[in-house]
């Protein structure tokens, strides 16, 4: 279902169509090239010695037995690697933020189970793992801060320099701003919501091959990454090398979702160690390491309040947010958390808002970026709206209709400190998704089922999110377009595709920008030696940013082709039109056929060297607003607590889609991750700080049997950016958890059950039902 609400964009051949992904052939036949496929002469293998304690002093490390094992090359400790750090900071934040500690290896004290203590280098991974068992670390265990909710009162410090374990906090409008509204409210909804820790869990774990050439002072890195240029910049700073002496390569990356958006501590170790060993060094993280040490996300709680007038109109909203950042977060977590407060009002007409956020250390895996890092704003708001509606005796859909912003009302101010919402369609996607469900029919079905002792539920979730930021670092994307002597095109961009089809996307864009067939365009990505700078897959930016870069490079290329054609066509360049694969005199009417005096193909113009043009696009708008409504229906078995999802509908607006298949793939992937977060995934620790879900036996990802068919409804409101395209990468993961939880809560509403803790596991639901007397 597609509804286009705006003036049509110029006709294009490929943009907007379901072009098959060029990546699929190799990926679906098992011929992708991932970092573990890289083989180098004499390559060595790394494996980390990791802490078995959540918090302990390191008294001594004895590597002699490990070093004596045949095939072991080296065992590095903090004393070997940490002093080599030249500079350590991420480009997106710069060196001046009050960043949290991030040593390569643990020094003196371990701070979570999985904390890297030493790095073993051996001939192969088997020997390396044998040697890891032989490294004797004398630990002196200490009581840990296992739960961030105890961090401010436990008296134990994760890092001595942070009193009360507070890494920092930010605040928007203070509570006083909303107090009068709350005082006069006819109804107040007030709950504290808790969201469990879960993580991106990419299909491909982290990994890196680093090869140092001492003779030439050159470093080559093959990485599983979302952003090769940042790996290069970071690596160069870390090692004190000129960026030009660092080359980063990647082809396929099997998912990142934020976990691979910047290098982490282990990556630092491998880069540092590579200069101390005589051959390339490979580190491939195994699944247990990934679940134990790659980091966690989502772990947070928030006291959320909404004040309503008697008719359900929202008067004010406020949230006090606290998040777990673990021991070593990546990158700086404090600033990112502001988005929770800024976006808490969501796509509703909220006159006043207040917010604050606090980041607390704990002795657990560090917080890292995860697809829609601020999604707690939607969890808290959308769950609270359903609870409020039930308390007021209103249908949750009706309560939202009374408050949601429609396209006609834009731009609309955000009271929390964001620029005004614009170019989006919250109420429209809401109605679209409800229409796809046939909401009234479902309510009738639900009533009939209840009469028969079955418990069905429906939940919705509507959000609006800033995408394709104009923030300096992420605003920037370069592209090079090259015409080969035979007229074939190549588009060269940074890349960093981790499943999000940047190859297909830029080929579509290039084919349209120059009027050439899709099959006549190749792309080169993921090699910093030959690609222009781009900031990679992050912040739902790649579609918009590459459209900008390709668009500007195509304009430059068309200008060059016009210059080249000018003498041969006998008219000045400005009288030449470059389109549809040809240069011709403007208005000559020549539409097809052979090259002639009035029309030249790109091959005619390319010459033996070809023609090339490049451009760097910089986003001008501070953000492009994407929005969506998720609607989920489910059945709950009130004896076992099992939740079965029945239908899942997403009505969304990411502007004109470059490729609906890719957009829907992005929505599906995020939605599945959100379903996992709502029902299954839980990176749980015991009271001593031991991770209890470090294999796939205990860390439960949703699979095809748990996820229903996802139905999509598209609206396309263009944004003030290239092609009108908006970001699509993160929304699924934001919208899904509240829709699922609201559906479960709706199913259980006859029992008076209120869900404020995630995940809604069967045992947790049974506990709520038991508490409610069922």
Partner 1 sequence: MKPARFEYHRPGSVDEAAALLAELGDEAKVLAGGQSLVPMLSLRLAYFDHLIDVSRLDGLRGLTVDGASLRLGAGMTEAAVGADVGVARAVPLLARATPLIGHFQIRNRGTLGGSIAHADPAAEYPAVALALDAELEAFSASAGRRVIPAAEFFTGLWSTALEPDELLVGVRFPVWTGRCGFAVEEFARRAGDFAIAGVVVALELNGDDRVARAAIGMLGLGSTPLRAPAAEAAAVGQRAGELDGAELGRLAMSGLEDIPADLQGSADYRVRVGAELVARAWAAASAEAAGSDGVGVTAASAGAIDG
> What are the residues binding partner 1 (CB under 8 A)?
125-126, 129-130, 133, 286-288, 639-640, 642, 680, 682, 684, 692-693, 695, 697-698, 700, 702-703, 705-706, 761-763, 766-767
- CA separation for the pair 314, 308 (Å, rounded): 4
Write down the least CB distance from residue 602 to partner 1, Å. Answer: 50
Identity of the residue, 410 or 766, whose beta carbon is nearer to partner 1 in the bound complex: 766
Q: Which residues of 557-586 are buried (b: 16+ CB within 10 A; e: fewer)?
A: bbebbbebbbeebebebeebbbeebbbbbe
Label the pairing between strands 710-716 and 2-4. parallel
**Which helix (H) or strand (E) covers residue 764, if one does?**
helix 762-771
Write down the least CB distance from residue 701 to partner 1, Å. Answer: 8
Task: Confirm if 148 and 362 have CB atoms less than 8 A apart.
Answer: yes
Write down the least CB distance from residue 129 to partner 1, Å. Answer: 5
Write down the least CB distance from residue 697 to partner 1, Å. Answer: 7
Task: Confirm if 54 and 146 have CB atoms less than 8 A apart.
Answer: yes
Phi, psi of 517 (to 5 degrees): -65, 145
Write down the least CB distance from residue 325 to partner 1, Å. Answer: 24
**Which helix (H) or strand (E) covers residue 26, if one does?**
helix 24-28
Residues with Cβ within 8 Å of 398's Cβ and at least 6 positions away in sequence, in order, are 312, 389
Write down the least CB distance from residue 459 to partner 1, Å. Answer: 20
Residues with Cβ within 8 Å of 90's Cβ and at least 6 positions away in sequence, in order, are 230, 234, 262, 331, 332
Whole-number CA gyration radius for the chain: 27
Burial (CB count within 10 angstroms: exposed 0-12, middle 13-18, buried 19+), residue 453 = exposed
- CA separation for the pair 632, 630 (Å, rounded): 7
Write down the least CB distance from residue 749 to partner 1, Å. Answer: 21
Identity of the residue, 171 or 767, whose beta carbon is nearer to partner 1 in the bound complex: 767
Residues with Cβ within 8 Å of 222's Cβ and at least 6 positions away in sequence, in order, are 35, 38, 208, 209, 210, 248, 249, 250
Task: Confirm if 363 and 146 have CB atoms less than 8 A apart.
Answer: yes
Write down the least CB distance from residue 294 to partner 1, Å. Answer: 14
DSSP 367: B
Write down the least CB distance from residue 266 to partner 1, Å. Answer: 16
- CA separation for the pair 261, 367 (Å, rounded): 13
Write down the least CB distance from residue 192 to partner 1, Å. Answer: 23
- CA separation for the pair 483, 472 (Å, rounded): 31
- CA separation for the pair 490, 467 (Å, rounded): 28
Identity of the residue, 487 or 762, whose beta carbon is nearer to partner 1 in the bound complex: 762
Identity of the residue, 579 or 692, whose beta carbon is nearer to partner 1 in the bound complex: 692
Identity of the residue, 484 or 764, whose beta carbon is nearer to partner 1 in the bound complex: 764
Peptide bond into 404 cis (omega under 30): no
Write down the least CB distance from residue 117 to partner 1, Å. Answer: 17
Question: How many CB atoms neighbour CB 632 within 10 A?
Answer: 33
Label the pairing between strands 521-525 and 187-195. unpaired
Write down the least CB distance from residue 740 to partner 1, Å. Answer: 15
Identity of the residue, 122 or 268, whose beta carbon is nearer to partner 1 in the bound complex: 122
Identity of the residue, 555 or 700, whose beta carbon is nearer to partner 1 in the bound complex: 700
DSSP 260: T
Identity of the residue, 479 or 765, whose beta carbon is nearer to partner 1 in the bound complex: 765
Identity of the residue, 352 or 693, whose beta carbon is nearer to partner 1 in the bound complex: 693
Residue closest to 651 by CA, chosen among 712, 707, 734, 739: 712
3-state secondary structure of 124: coil
- CA separation for the pair 668, 736 (Å, rounded): 10
Helices (H), ranges, 362-467? 376-392, 396-401, 426-437, 439-451
Write down the least CB distance from residue 152 to partner 1, Å. Answer: 27
Residue closest to 199 by CA, chosen among 694, 690, 728: 694
Write down the least CB distance from residue 303 to partner 1, Å. Answer: 27
Write down the least CB distance from residue 733 to partner 1, Å. Answer: 19
Identity of the residue, 198 or 344, whose beta carbon is nearer to partner 1 in the bound complex: 198
- CA separation for the pair 262, 91 (Å, rounded): 9
Return the structure tokens found at 359: 């980041």
Write down the least CB distance from residue 36 to partner 1, Å. Answer: 13
Q: Residue 688: which region, alpha, beta or left (left: phi > 0; alpha: psi -120 to 50)? A: alpha
Identity of the residue, 580 or 637, whose beta carbon is nearer to partner 1 in the bound complex: 637
Q: Where are the beta strands (DSSP E) in 468-546?
A: 476-483, 489-493, 521-525
Distance of CA 117 to the CA centre of its chain: 29
Identity of the residue, 375 or 761, whose beta carbon is nearer to partner 1 in the bound complex: 761
Identity of the residue, 668 or 707, whose beta carbon is nearer to partner 1 in the bound complex: 707
Residue closest to 714 by CA, chosen among 731, 733, 692, 694: 731
Identity of the residue, 307 or 693, whose beta carbon is nearer to partner 1 in the bound complex: 693
Return the structure tokens found at 451: 């009469």
Identity of the residue, 205 or 523, whose beta carbon is nearer to partner 1 in the bound complex: 205
DSSP 573: G
Identity of the residue, 59 or 640, whose beta carbon is nearer to partner 1 in the bound complex: 640
Write down the least CB distance from residue 133 to partner 1, Å. Answer: 7
Identity of the residue, 325 or 632, whose beta carbon is nearer to partner 1 in the bound complex: 632
Phi, psi of 766 (to 5 degrees): -65, -40
- How many residues would you count in the chain? 774
């Amino acid at each position: 279902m597609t509804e286009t609400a705006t003036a049509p964009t110029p006709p294009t051949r490929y943009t907007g169509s379901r072009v098959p992904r060029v990546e699929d052939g190799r990926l679906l036949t098992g011929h992708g090239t991932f970092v573990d496929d890289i083989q180098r002469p004499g390559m060595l293998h790394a494996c980390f010695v990791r802490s078995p304690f959540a918090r302990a002093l390191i008294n001594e490390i004895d590597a002699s037995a490990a070093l004596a094992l045949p095939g072991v090359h080296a065992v590095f400790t903090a004393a070997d690697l940490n002093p080599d750090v030249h500079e350590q900071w991420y480009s997106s934040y710069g060196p001046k933020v009050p960043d949290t500690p991030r040593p390569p290896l643990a020094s003196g004290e371990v701070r979570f189970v999985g904390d890297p203590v030493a790095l073993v280098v051996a001939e192969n991974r088997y020997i390396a793992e044998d040697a890891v068992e032989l490294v004797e670390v004398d630990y002196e265990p200490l009581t840990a801060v296992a739960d961030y909710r105890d961090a401010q009162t436990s008296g134990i410090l994760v890092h001595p320099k942070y009193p009360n374990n507070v890494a920092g906090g930010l605040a928007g409008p203070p509570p006083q701003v909303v107090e009068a509204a709350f005082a006069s409210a006819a109804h107040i909804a007030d709950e504290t919501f808790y969201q469990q820790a879960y993580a991106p869990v990419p299909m491909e774990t982290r990994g890196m091959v680093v090869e140092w050439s001492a003779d030439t002072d050159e470093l080559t890195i093959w990485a599983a990454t979302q952003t090769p240029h940042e790996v290069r910049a970071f690596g160069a700073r870390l090692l004190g090398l000129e960026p030009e002496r660092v080359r980063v390569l990647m082809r396929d990356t099997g998912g990142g979702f934020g976990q691979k958006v910047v290098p982490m501590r282990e990556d630092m170790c491998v880069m540092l160690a590579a200069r101390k060993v005589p051959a390339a060094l490979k580190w491939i993280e195994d699944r247990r390491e990934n679940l134990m040490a790659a980091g966690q996300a989502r772990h947070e709680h928030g006291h959320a309040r909404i004040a309503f007038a008697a008719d359900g109109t929202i008067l004010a909203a406020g949230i006090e947010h606290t998040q777990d950042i673990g021991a070593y977060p990546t990158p700086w977590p404090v600033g990112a958390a502001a988005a929770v407060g800024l976006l808490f009002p969501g796509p509703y007409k909220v006159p006043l808002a207040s917010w604050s956020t606090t980041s607390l250390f704990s002795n657990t895996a560090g917080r890292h970026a995860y697809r829609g890092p601020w999604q707690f704003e939607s969890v808290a708001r959308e769950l609270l709206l359903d609870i409020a509606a039930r308390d007021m005796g209103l249908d949750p859909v009706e309560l939202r209709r009374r408050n949601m912003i429609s396209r006609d009302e834009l731009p609309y101010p955000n009271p929390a400190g964001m620029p005004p919402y614009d170019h989006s369609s919250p109420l429209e996607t809401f109605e679209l998704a409800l229409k796809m469900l046939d909401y009234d029919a479902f309510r009738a079905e639900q009533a009939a089922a209840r009469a028969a002792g079955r418990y069905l539920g429906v939940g919705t979730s509507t959000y609006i999110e800033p995408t394709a930021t104009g923030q300096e670092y992420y605003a920037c994307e370069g592209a090079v377009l090259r015409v080969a002597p035979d007229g074939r095109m190549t588009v060269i961009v940074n890349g960093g595709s981790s499943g999000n089809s940047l190859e297909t996307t830029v080929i579509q864009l290039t084919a349209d920008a120059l009027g050439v067939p899709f099959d006549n365009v190749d792309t080169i990505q993921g090699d910093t030696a030959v690609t222009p700078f781009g900031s990679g897959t992050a912040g739902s930016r790649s579609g918009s940013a590459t459209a900008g870069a390709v668009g500007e490079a195509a304009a430059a290329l068309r200008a060059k082709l016009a210059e080249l054609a000018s003498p041969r066509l006998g008219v000045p360049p400005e009288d030449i039109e470059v389109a549809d694969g040809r240069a011709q005199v403007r208005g000559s009417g020549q539409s097809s056929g052979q090259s002639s005096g009035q029309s030249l193909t790109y091959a005619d113009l390319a010459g033996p060297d070809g023609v090339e043009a490049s451009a760097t696009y910089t986003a001008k708008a501070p953000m492009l607003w994407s929005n969506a409504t998720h609607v989920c229906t489910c059945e709950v078995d009130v004896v076992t607590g099992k939740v079965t999802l029945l239908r899942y509908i997403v009505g969304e607006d990411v502007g004109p889609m470059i490729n609906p298949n890719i957009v829907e793939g992005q929505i599906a992937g995020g939605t599945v991750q959100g379903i996992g977060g709502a029902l299954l995934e839980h990176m749980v620790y015991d009271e001593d700080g031991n991770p209890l879900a470090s294999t796939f036996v205990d860390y439960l990802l949703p699979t095809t049997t748990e996820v229903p068919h996802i139905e999509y409804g598209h609206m396309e409101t263009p944004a003030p950016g290239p092609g009108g395209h908006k970001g699509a990468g993160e929304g699924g993961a934001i919208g899904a958890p509240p829709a699922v939880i609201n559906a479960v809560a709706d199913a259980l509403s006859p029992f008076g059950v209120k869900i404020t803790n995630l995940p809604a596991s069967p045992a947790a639901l049974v506990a709520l039902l038991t508490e409610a007397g069922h």
